[in-house]
Amino acid sequence: MTTIHNLGFPRIGARRELKFALESYWKGDTARAALKDLGAQLRQRHWHDQSGLDWVPVGDFSFYDQVLDMSFTLGNLPERVQGFEGDALDNYFRVARGRSATADKDHAHCCGGVAAGEMTKWFDTNYHYIVPEFTAATTFKLDAARLLAQLAEAQAQGVKAKPVIIGPVTYLAIGKAKDESDRLALLDRLLPVYVELLEVLAARGVEWVQVDEPILVTELDGRWQQVLETAYQYLQGARVKLLLATYFGQLLENAALAARLPVAGLHVDAINDRDGVLPLIELLPVQTVLSLGVINGRNIWKTDLTAVLDWIEPLAQRLGERLWLAPSCSLLHVPVDLDSEQGLDAEVKSWLAFALQKLDELRVLGTALREGRAAVQAALAANAAALAARRSSPRVNNPAVQAAVARISADLGRRTSPYAERAPIQAALLKLPRYPTTTIGSFPQTSEIRQARRDFKAGRLDAAGYQTAMRSQIEYSVREQEKLGLDVLVHGEAERNDMVEYFGEQLEGYVFSQFGWVQSYGSRCVKPPILFGDISRPKPMTVAWIRYAQSLTDKPMKGMLTGPVTILNWSFVRDDQPRARSCRQLALAIREEVLDLERAGVRLIQIDEAALREGLPLRKSQWQDYLDWAIESFRISANGVTDQTQIHTHMCYSEFNDIIASIAEMDADVITIETSRSDMELLEAFETFHYPNQIGPGVYDIHSPNIPTQDHIVRMMQKAAERIPAERLWVNPDCGLKTRQWAEVIPALDAMVSAAKVLRAAA
Ligand code: GLN
Ligand code: ZN
């Protein structure tokens, strides 16, 4: 009989209860006991939601981050918080947030603060974890209190508990040695603590422990492969059975290694690695459990249950008890409950499944395998009908868009003339000084702006009233920029709630959920728009705002768009066509907008690709394929303009070395990037590559409230000029200013503009 189980459940709550409880606790508005109670309630509810499964994850609940939980379980606390006397949860929040656990008032930088743990993306998801810190002196010491308490709770509630932990190799691999020491050297100290942990779990009657090793879907060098062998041989004697969980991709060259690790079960992502399953079965020892992740834990679409059954029924015959079924990965990466959605387009809703619905699908598959398809006939029929409706829906299929994508040729992505010929034409038209100053797009999203948007959405403010309110914000920002003396102005993005949602709302092929929140880090959630159909642009999206802004000033106004790759990467995307095709459709829609802006007389157009880098596949061997279509999409969106129009792009991250050739291929006339925190170091990539076009290296960090001095900016730009010829440099902040206050923005930009004057005078 097939076993069904789950790898992890979203902990934030269907209504983001955990977010609000955390934030209220941090503010000092609620007691610690109330927060802990809410945690217990959420766990109880979520275990209940998973009833009917043969194994239910325990320990996946976290007040902030499962990796930080693991660091605490292993006693690997950064030195700076080791002497802490208070409550363990408070200490945990200190590592997570870099300040005392409660009372946001006592600021990290003046009193009682500690540096926050560094955060980075969890594999290729939009979830961010707190990076484990190591030094040569790191030791480990088991603290299983949190996990055992959750286990006891689960057992008391009759839950078939399968504790979930992060495996030792992934734990080491995703951490960072602060002193550049070799973190693999810590393995000998780490493994005994894992053994101890498995032992205490065995003593509590645990049968299976899920050990997450997603590192197995990445490229591993010989040393890391050896570490996997060593680690699992070491853990082999444990009195619990280990289910080694891999997810987010394909095992490929690691399949043989994964199959020979001495564990009782192996979970694989059968969404991403379906082709790997049959060969893997050949490699697996005959007693090893094979758990197939057949329901996509990363998207919001219904599973084609009949197709899955057609595929796995023969496997079930062959594997018998050894076959387990699960979602492909933890459901952490999907929203909780589709039934919460009351406003969602009914037709599209009938095609979707959030975490709870995915568990229902899993139950249907389990029953079908155990009792035959007839036992779940109605569910299968309903599922098939929904999928058929989706496949044939005219809302999904737009023949005109499909034809336009089919017609895409290389010409579409090519500028009329090369950069060297366009640049003087643009310079003659724009007449900008050396070291031209500009900003990245957004100005502060003030409380007035947010209030007006809320009133508009709630119907308290009509469209005309909303437009007036936004226009007055735009006018304010234009006047401030003129006073500051910036060279290229922006309209300030007052009308945009979010750089992707704003465009998604105006494109055909998108819907928006009300409660489709997914945890991004700690208490922060994002609500990705749902891209469900062929993308088209019924009418211009930004032209009226930009034209209005331009009408207020003689200075050049830069049009501001989000690029196709970023829109794609920050959305839930279709599973019925390759991402590349959805991206090309977005590219065509943005291209129309670019051309409309150009027709409206806009001379500079910025197309933000903030999320280009994060779309890179986990395996480097697959990077080029992604970069090819991503860069092609950007080029399609941008390069239909005449030589006179200057295309800008913006990317807010600081690693370009390994993708610089693709960045150059984008052929934007100007690229603005984040550089201030790396002290202009990252320009080295542009220098070494002989990057030919113009660059605006960010001169100050917009994440900090600190006001940069003129001297600091001058020094930064002088460093930049050592690497990039001054005539190709722009002066701008690292990123948009929407999270700042005007009181911070004005002095900062004032320093920036005067720094540019100093630089010009010196030239
Ligand atoms: N134009 C956007 C802004 O200024 C860019 C934001 C981003 O790159 N994340 O807000
Ligand atoms: Zn940015």
**How do residues 231-278 score in pLDDT, each as one tens digit?**
999 999 899 999 999 999 999 999 999 999 999 999 999 999 999 999
Compute the average pLDDT of residues 675-702.
92
The finding on whether 735 has its CB within 6 A of some atom of ligand 1 is: yes
User: Average pLDDT of 405-429?
Assistant: 97
Nearest-atom number in ligand 1 for the CA of 441 is: 4
pLDDT band at 681 (very low <50, low <70, confident <90, very high): confident
Q: CA-CA distance, 232 to 243, in Å (whole number)?
A: 11
Token pair of 273, please? 């690695």
What does the pLDDT look like over 486-524, one tens digit per residue? 999 999 999 999 999 999 999 999 999 999 999 999 999
Which residues on neighbouring strands pair with residue 670, listed in sequence order?
Answer: 648, 694
Fill in the DSSP letter of residue 80: G
Which pLDDT tens digit goes with each residue over 262-274? 999 999 999 999 9
- Ligand in closest contact with the CA of 611: 1
Ligand 1 atom closest to 736 (CA): 4
Tens-place pLDDT, residues 328-351: 999 999 999 999 999 999 999 999
**Could you tell which of 438, 442, 649, 737 is best to mutate to test the pocket of ligand 1, judged by most ligand atoms within 8 Å of the CB?**
442
Query: What one-letter code names the amino acid at 458?
Result: A
Q: pLDDT tens-digit profile of 297-333?
A: 999 999 999 999 999 999 999 999 999 999 999 999 9
Ligand 1 neighbour 610 (Cβ under 6 A): yes
Going by pLDDT thresholds of 50, 70 and 90, the confidence category of residue 107 is very low
User: What ligand 1 atom has the least distance to the C-alpha of 652?
Assistant: 8
The pLDDT of residue 113 is 57
Nearest by Cα to 293 from 263, 311, 273: 273
Q: pLDDT tens for residues 589-607?
A: 999 999 999 999 999 999 9
DSSP, res 412: G
Note if 712 is an active site residue: no
Task: Please tell me the distance from the alpha carbon of residue 82 to that of residue 114, in angstroms, as a whole number.
Answer: 11
Most confident segment among 78-87, 95-104, 617-626 = 617-626
Q: What is the DSSP letter of 15?
A: T
Q: Is 229 left (phi over 0), alpha (psi -120 to 50) or beta?
A: alpha
Instruction: Tell me how far apart the alpha carbons of residues 59 and 464 are, in angstroms, rounded to a whole number.
Output: 51
- Cα angle at 700 between 614 and 473, to 5 degrees? 85
- How does residue 100 score in pLDDT terms, banded at 50, 70 and 90? low
CA pair distance 304, 196, nearest whole angstrom = 42
Confidence of residue 704 (pLDDT cuts 50, 70, 90): confident
Angle between helices 579-599 and 543-551 (to 10 degrees): 30
Query: Of ligand 1's atoms, which has the minimum distance to the CA of residue 440?
Result: 4
Q: Which of 195, 171, 197 is nearest to 184 (CA)?
A: 171
**pLDDT for the residue numbered 1:** 86
Position of tokens 């007040």?
A: 63
- Describe the strand order of the beta sheet including 289-295 as a list of residue ranges: 3-4, 323-327, 289-295, 265-269, 241-245, 208-212, 161-166, 56-58
Q: Is 441 in the pocket of ligand 1 (CB under 6 A)?
A: yes
117 DSSP 8-state letter: P
- Which ligand gives the minimal distance to the CA of 499? 1
CA distances from 411 to 401, 517, 550 (A): 18, 40, 31
Rounded to whole angstroms, the Cα distance separating 659 from 214 reads: 24
pLDDT of residue 104: 43
Residue with CA closest to ligand 1 atom 3? 736
DSSP state for residue 378 in the 8-state scheme: H
Q: Which amino acid is at 433?
A: P
Rounded CA-CA distance 301/590 in Å is 26
Measured at the CA of 32, the angle between CA 148 and CA 34, to 5 degrees, comes to 90
Q: At what angle do helices 355-371 and 377-392 cross, to 10 degrees?
A: 130
Residues β-bridged to residue 133:
176
- CA 492/CA 473 separation, integer angstroms: 8
Please report which helix (H) or strand (E) contains residue 1, including its range: none
| 42-73 tens-digit pLDDT | 999 999 999 999 999 999 999 999 999 999 99
Mutating to test ligand 1, I would choose from 735, 737, 740, 745 the residue with most ligand atoms within 8 A of its C-beta, which is 735
Ligand 2 center to 119 CA (angstroms)? 17
Under the phi-then-psi rule, with left for phi > 0, alpha for psi from -120 to 50, and beta for the rest, what region is 158? left
* Closest C-alpha residue for ligand 1 atom 6: 736
Reported confidence tier of residue 106, pLDDT bands at 50, 70, 90: very low
* 299 and 276 Cβ atoms separated by less than 8 Å: no
pLDDT digits (tens, 9 = 90+) for 521-547: 999 999 999 999 999 999 999 999 999
Instruction: Work out the pLDDT band at 103, boundaries 50, 70, 90.
Output: very low
Rounded distance between C-alpha atoms, residue 146 and residue 69, angstroms: 8
pLDDT of residue 531: 98
462 vs 455, 457, 514, 574, 724, CA distance in Å? 8, 9, 22, 34, 50
The Cα–Cα gap between 727 and 434 comes to 6
Task: Specify the ligand 1 atom closest to the Cα of 439.
Answer: 4
* 437 DSSP β-pair partners: 731
Widest CA span in the chain: 83
- Cα–chain-centroid distance for residue 271? 19
CA-closest candidate to residue 408, choices 654, 580, 558, 607 = 580
- Of 109, 128, 703, 712, which residue is the catalytic one? 703
Nearest CA to ligand 1 atom 4: 736
Check residue 85 and give its pLDDT. 77
Q: Where are the beta strands (DSSP E) in 495-645?
A: 508-511, 518-521, 524-526, 530-536, 558-562, 604-608
Please classify residue 761 by burial: count the beta carbons closer than 10 Å to its beta carbon, then call 0-12 exposed, 13-18 middle and 19+ buried.
Answer: exposed
Lowest-pLDDT range, 92-106, 161-175, 559-573, 722-736? 92-106
Q: Looking at the whole model, is its pTM more than 0.75?
A: yes
Residue of 557, 563, 529, 562 lying closest to 545 (CA atoms): 557
Got the DSSP string for 26-79? Answer: HHTSS-HHHHHHHHHHHHHHHHHHTTT-SBEEES---SS-HHHHHHHHTT---G
* Cα 732 to middle of ligand 2, angstroms: 11
DSSP 731: B
- Comparison of pLDDT for 449 and 88, the residue scoring more: 449
- Is 49:141 a contact under the CB 8 Å cutoff? no
Identify the pLDDT of residue 99. 64
563 Cβ inside 6 Å of ligand 1: no
499 lines ligand 1 (CB under 6 A): yes
Nearest to 662 by CA among 640, 687, 629: 629
**% of the chain at pLDDT higher than 70:** 98
Question: Mean pLDDT of all residues in the chain?
Answer: 95
Res 83: pLDDT: 76
Give the SS3 label for residue 629. Answer: helix
Q: Which of 212, 281, 219 is nearest to 247 (CA)?
A: 212
Average pLDDT of the residues in 21-40: 97
Cross-strand partners of 695: 671, 729
Strands (E), 544-661: 558-562, 604-608, 646-651
Angle at 627 between CA 727 and CA 616, to 5 degrees: 105
444 lines ligand 1 (CB under 6 A): no
Query: CA 594, CA 604: separation in Å to the nearest integer?
Result: 10
